[in-house]
Chain A
Amino acid sequence: MKLHEYQAKEYFARYGLPVQKGVVIDRAEQIAGLALRYPVVIKAQVLVGGRGKAGGVRLASTPQEAGERARAILGMDIKGERVARVLVAEAADIEREYYFAFVTDRAAGRVAAIASGEGGVEIETVARTAPEKIVRAEVDPFLGFPAYQARVVGRRLGFAGAALEEFVRIATALYRLYWTEDADLAEINPLALVGGHLLCVDAKLVLDDNALYRHAETPPNEEMTELEAAARRAGLAYVELDGDIAVIGNGAGLVMSTLDLLAHFGGRAANFLDVGGGASAEAMQTALGIVQQKPGVRAVFINIFGGITRCDDVARGIVENPPKVPASIRLTGTNEAQGQQILKDAGIAAGLDPDEGARVAVELARRGARAREAR
């Protein structure tokens, strides 16, 4: 789960990481009452990247100017995300920018510290254009991130004296936050040198969804749409996409390949719902309810390969809550004959071949689109 900058900075402050004084607001009128030293910077709080280029970060030297800026940014659309809040923070006079982060290195199965003297730009860009400027350190999970390791990284970034010790404090505190809060990513970019001291000017924090149960005070997830949140509550994995064919499948890999099948035959998925392993008839019923709620769905494609999941259970779920839009059903695997029979008895057609199922789903969606145009 990705957090907003202001939320990440609340975590940072709790772990003793230096952040600018700032306040988050959702109405421009709130600017007037803020006890902040000017100039200030107004920053859109969105989860997508590239807000600076989109005009979502602006300087202001007076409360009046700050109010105008905030009014312009609030409600702005940044890559499809509406700005509901802005962070108003005291502007910092930056002398130099660095990058520092802890990230889960999937390939190594470990945590890695990543640092660079080229801060303020995306680390992926640095990795492409100047890989020699990136400093990496691997973390042994049983040792954590000892001060000496932080000092080695700090020296390689060119820190010395008091600034080096400041860097060591920041790096070790960030690791403490990263590990204690079950983060996937804890990033400071830029970590800025301001008046001889280090300051976390921007903060990014991504928390592990699987570990949320052991952190009582996690802020609500704003990445999910309403339907996604409803599915999560029902214990189903649902993701929204932007086509017109609703997809239900079992197992993440099979579902992903189902999206590819639709694309191969010229269609596009509106969403997908993974009913998981051992799906019951009830789960199937709920799944059908959720995927068809998305506006603009013209067809449903159900692609089930029964392993632990039994085809008769799936068929019963479909019969209980038959699709309201034209459906293509592929049902094979465990108890296939029973499942097919249940559907047949209810007058619902189903096949065994995934490619044929996808082709039919695409055709049904096309017909739906044509019918709409004809009206």
Chain B
Amino acid sequence: MAVIVDAETRLLVQGITGYQGAFHTGLMLEAGTKVVAGVTPGKGGAAVHGVPVFDTVDEAVRATGANACCIFVPARFARDAALEAVAARLDPVVIITEGMPVHDAIEVVAYARQQGVRVLGPNGPGVTTPGQCRVGIMPTHLFKPGPVGIISRSGTLTYEIVAALTRAGLGQSTAVGLGGDPVVGTSFVEALELFNADAGTEAIVLLGEIGGSAEEQAARYIEERVDKPVVAYIAGRTAPPGKRMGHAGAVISGTQGTADHKIQALEAAGARVATLPSGVAALVEARMR
């Protein structure tokens, strides 16, 4: 069992002929993902790692039956690519692109909601269901199939935790990267809802960071609805207020969005919060016993 992507996912890659798109298409294929089509306007008729390339999503879907999309196009073209994928009802639409203007993301997310399509990102590492499907850039070799679901705003921090879980013998059901930008398509709450309903997930790891109030909302949801053990880590406890900490979303202003506030909310909701990333695996192990 898994959430969002699995062995049935038929992936279309936008920007497949670009440096990152081509490279990661190769890795996604190696991970067992059914990458069935690529789209790059003007490059229709080409092939990348044997995957046929089309000029439009419309043609690609008709020819290949693609049902999900991963976007590697440069920031200034990401809005158009994402709107095209949503219009074709590809689901999920996973936006790896970094540096997308916030107003573009607002439009994409609003349109996706109207159309009932799930968006992950922008500025995320994608989503991986070990042994079945990798959409995006998470390193395949770190994972092993198992019962732990992971929800994260950040890429490398996810890898750090996944590697530690795997070392501890704790495999993963699915790892979901939400993206580090201020406006992203899927919230912690929506991802928690999916994992809570997933029969293959026994425990949930939530990797948050400073800025915004998504973790506080997650805490409320955990308290009210989640019956599986939740372990969390919040990055940026020592970040100074007002500074943009790499992720555009990670700015704390005033008392809002501080790590302490998020940690308190999560603990009050019954989640266990690790002080350091290295503490996560042990807490998961303890909670699953």
Residues of A within 8 A of B (CB): 104, 106-107, 109-111, 124, 140-142, 179, 182, 184, 208-211, 213-214, 237, 239, 241-242, 249-257, 259-264, 269, 272, 274, 276-278, 305-308, 332-334, 353-355
Question: Which of B7-15, B36-44, B52-60, B243-251 lies on the face that meets chain A?
Answer: B243-251
Which of A141, A142, A209, A257 counts the most B-chain CB atoms under 10 A from its CB? A257
Can you report 11 residue pairs joining A to B where beta carbons are below 8 Å apart?
A: A106-B214, A106-B249, A107-B217, A142-B110, A242-B240, A252-B154, A253-B156, A253-B157, A306-B139, A307-B155, A353-B278
Whether the pair B243, A239 counts as a contact (CB closer than 8 A) is: yes
Q: A109-B183, A253-B154, A355-B276 are in contact. Are A259 and B101 (CB under 8 A)?
A: no
A211 to B75, CA, bound (A): 9
B48 at interface by CB-CB < 8 Å: no
Identify the closest chain B residue to A273 (Cβ).
B246
Q: Tell me if B240 and A241 are in contact (CB < 8 A).
A: yes
Chain A nearest CB from B211 CB (Å) reads: 8
Q: How far is the CB of B9 from chain A (nearest CB, A)?
A: 21
Which among A140, A184, A306 is the interface contact of B182 at CB below 8 angstroms? A184
A97 CB → nearest B CB, Å: 20
Q: Contacts A104-B106, A106-B212, A109-B183; is A251 near B155 (CB within 8 Å)?
A: yes
Chain B residues close to A by CB (< 8 Å)? 20, 75-76, 98-107, 109-111, 125, 137-139, 142, 152-160, 163, 180, 182-185, 187, 207, 209-214, 217, 233, 235-240, 243-250, 254-256, 275-278
B158, closest chain A residue (CB):
A253
Given A106-B212, A141-B107, A354-B160, also A263-B249 (CB < 8 A)? no
Which residues of chain A are within 8 angstroms of B155 by Cβ–Cβ distance?
251, 253, 277, 307
With a cutoff of 8 Å between Cβ atoms, the chain B residues found around residue A210 in the complex are 75, 99-102, 248
Q: Contact at A184–B102, with CB atoms within 8 Å? A: yes
* A253 and B249 in contact, given A210-B101, A264-B275 (Cβ under 8 angstroms): no
Cβ contacts under 8 Å, B209 to chain A: 252-253, 256
The answer on a CB contact under 8 Å between B157 and A263 is no
Contact check, A252 vs B250: say whether CB atoms are below 8 A apart. yes
Contact between A307 and B138, CB atoms less than 8 A apart: yes
Given contacts A104-B106, A253-B157, A253-B207, contact A261 B139 (CB under 8 A): no
Residues of A near B239 (CB, < 8 A) are 256, 259
Smallest Cβ-Cβ distance to A259: which chain B residue: B238
Residue of B nearest to A304 (CB): B156
Given contacts A124-B254, A179-B103, list 19 more A-B pairs with CB under 8 A: A104-B182, A106-B213, A107-B212, A124-B255, A124-B256, A142-B111, A210-B100, A211-B103, A251-B156, A252-B209, A253-B154, A254-B160, A256-B157, A256-B209, A274-B246, A305-B160, A307-B139, A334-B139, A355-B278
Chain A nearest CB, measured from B39 CB (Å): 22
Residues of A with C-beta under 8 A to B211: 106
Q: How far is the CA of A277 from the CA of B24 in the complex (A)?
A: 13
Contact of A209 with B110 in the complex, beta carbons under 8 Å: no
Contact A256 B159 (CB under 8 A): no
In the complex, the answer to whether B102 meets A182 with C-beta atoms within 8 Å is yes
In Å, the complex CA distance between A209 and B123 comes to 14
| B21–chain A nearest beta-carbon distance, Å | 13
CB-based contact A252/B246 at 8 Å: yes
* Nearest CB of B to A221, in Å: 11
